[in-house]
Chains A and B, each alone.
Chain A
């Protein structure tokens, strides 16, 4: 596709600047090129020093890598943000109601709006959760909604990350870095603050504490350990919340509570913000070979004596086959039309859709139903003949395992290069906190940007970078 076919969030086709960027443009125009180039280099040093790195699976040498950071902010107006917020609230409330229904009466299936096989064959479905209501009735405490934009008013939900969404530390550190590099910019352009996210998270988690919690609830972040790709973020959030950062080996069930080994002895935990997958929670219930879990934790959980965020079994909801039913799900539980549209999705399990997908694979994006992180996906327009035919074979072999979507004309925003500004495709992941009291959305989020010209893949595991995301004040 040629330039101009994509919606650029900063520049209008006539070369002018859109409203959101006028303040930034005025500042940018005054800066010396050499100053910006120097800052561009400084940013990387700053990130390496703070230790914001991630580990890439399957790469021994580059054990810790930096996600490229681009210093041109991605800017959203207050008006746009309000609209997004409403849509996200609606969607997240529906997701939570859906989870509760799935593990209880399954009204939505009885009503024939969602087929039963969808979750019956779903590996993320947990029989342990049937008939059980988590403390506060909350399943999805922390959600990352991936949005893409294709036009002035066209935002789509691309994915609901309802398991353990990551990336929030980048939202925070990108802002810190920007403020350190360009303090005067923040004096000129009024930007909503994101820095209280850890406090909001701590508050939201505490509000979901089980009834047996005494006094101020004890919150801990459960990490798989320093070799996990997101360990930096786990440590960062624990530090910022003033919570303990625990591993499975620090935990044990003591007197019917989950307790951590402190220098004082075992101390009960009320809320576990877990950053491990379900199957690594409890070797007794899930994976007898796992060394990462806590034997017996599920029994304590089912007795209502600890909160696990997000609830085990929520993975059902961020499956891409379920995703395709989200419009029905939103309508069923909220009685309203979805405010944020889905991207059109063909379920390859359906023979007619499969036939269409196979005929049009070169124009589509095909994804594994259970995949994430940009692994196991095919971008038709960018694929070679060989890749297309290999993928078609996979589709025929296991159609239930795949969905396909049109190749979206993702919006662009400029990144800073040594030759000046250049447009790149991007997406947006706002972070949503859910407690019995409210749905709380921090004004900002993680903007992921493809660093290669023309590329539509923004995943960090595939070389994508990040930007600071600004929501302007009114």
Chain B
């Protein structure tokens, strides 16, 4: 496969994952705003904008934080390269670049979603429509992943697509946790009274982990439980541990296909060594914020090493 095509596949799925996570984040914000007073709702949208990495662009155009402004900015601002609309533009043009390396099923899933979402985002999104827009964005991911799993050869292309997915997922989850890390300090759960279960619920919702968490923990919400769920629980497909376990498999498969291990495999092993046997106490001892910073940095060096190992760029 061409290095450029591998690059397109990798980024196509990074962007897809990013769009999907952004939709989850807005969804969680929406829910918070509906169950809060207006002051904390404003705070919530500020935090959503911050987490999605849009603060500077948003504040250049808006003086206040309201839900309508916030989600319209994140979803469809033309000048923001990270808006969901522009992200989908990127997904589709990467899909076109890689058109001869993806199946018709994958192409049609992505192209259909693009046509639908472009249409939905052609005009401002009001309260009545925001729910269906977010559903459409999440469904775009579901459809594309389903098409990939069901139709693509387990060859290089498949593994580049999956590697892109898990690199981006790990990055996004770590960022969401880091923005809210102060909520997840263990001391708060000892203090007890100031514990804001609504906020924690928001963190879980923004990674679609609320019901999974409740199922596993019988409704008991505390910092320890949530952090250990999001960082260490390999059963949860949006945990850091799961994302990296999956990534490790894709990178191992690539090394097998190529008959040689590269820097990406080496860095992956180092990351595994750091994560395996890690207990929740270790995370808190190190400091959650520090842990997440280190993790994000390691994650992005793996991404760079993949690009290098497989000649994404000339």
Partners in one complex: yes
Judging by beta carbons under 8 Å apart, are A244 and B97 in contact?
no
Contact of B2 among A236, A239, A262 (CB under 8 A): A262
Contact of A261 among B3, B99, B108 (CB under 8 A): B3
Judging by beta carbons under 8 Å apart, are B1 and A51 in contact?
no
> How many interface residues does A have (CB within 8 Å)?
25
Judging by beta carbons under 8 Å apart, are A247 and B112 in contact?
no
Q: How far is the CA of A261 from the CA of B7 in the complex (A)?
A: 12
Does A309 reach chain B (CB closer than 8 Å)?
no
Q: How far is the CA of A49 from the CA of B110 in the complex (A)?
A: 10
Map CB proximity to B onto A215-247 as digits: 1 under 8 Å, 0 otherwise. 000000000001000011001101100011111
Does B107 reach chain A (CB closer than 8 Å)?
yes
Contact of B4 among A49, A238, A243, A250 (CB under 8 A): A250
Closest beta carbon of chain B to A64's beta carbon, Å: 10
Q: Which of B4-46 contact A (CB under 8 A)?
A: 4-6
Judging by beta carbons under 8 Å apart, are A49 and B2 in contact?
no
Q: How far is the CA of A112 from the CA of B107 in the complex (A)?
A: 55
Does B311 reach chain A (CB closer than 8 Å)?
yes
Judging by beta carbons under 8 Å apart, are A235 and B311 in contact?
no
Closest beta carbon of chain B to A130's beta carbon, Å: 33
- CB-nearest residue of chain B relative to A243? B100
Which residues in A have their C-beta under 8 angstroms from that of B258?
A: 263-264
Contact of A239 among B96, B100, B156 (CB under 8 A): B100
Q: Is the interface of A mostly helix, strand, loop or mixed?
A: mixed
Known: A50-B104, A235-B100, A245-B100. A263 touches B2 (CB 8 A): yes
Which residues in A have their C-beta under 8 angstroms from that of B111?
A: 49-51
Judging by beta carbons under 8 Å apart, are B6 and A263 in contact?
yes
Q: How far is the CA of A245 from the CA of B4 in the complex (A)?
A: 10
Does A335 reach chain B (CB closer than 8 Å)?
no
Does B279 reach chain A (CB closer than 8 Å)?
no
Which residues in B have their C-beta under 8 angstroms from that of A249?
A: 4, 314
Judging by beta carbons under 8 Å apart, are A238 and B100 in contact?
yes
Judging by beta carbons under 8 Å apart, are B2 and A265 in contact?
no
Which residues in A have their C-beta under 8 angstroms from that of B314?
A: 249, 252, 261
- CB-nearest residue of chain A relative to B99? A235
Which residues in B have their C-beta under 8 angstroms from that of A102?
A: none
Which residues in A have their C-beta under 8 angstroms from that of B2?
A: 244-246, 250, 260-263
Does B181 reach chain A (CB closer than 8 Å)?
no
Does A48 reach chain B (CB closer than 8 Å)?
yes
Map CB proximity to B onto A182-199 as digits: 1 under 8 Å, 0 otherwise. 000000000000000000
Q: How far is the CA of A231 from the CA of B100 in the complex (A)?
A: 11
- CB-nearest residue of chain A relative to B312? A263
Which residues in B have their C-beta under 8 angstroms from that of A250?
A: 2-4
Closest beta carbon of chain B to A65's beta carbon, Å: 14
Judging by beta carbons under 8 Å apart, are A247 and B100 in contact?
no
Contact of A231 among B3, B4, B96 (CB under 8 A): B96
The 6 closest A-B pairs by CB, nearest first: A235-B99, A239-B100, A263-B310, A238-B100, A245-B100, A261-B3
> B residues bordering A, Cβ < 8 Å?
1-6, 93, 96-97, 99-100, 104, 107-108, 111-112, 115, 156, 258, 310-311, 314
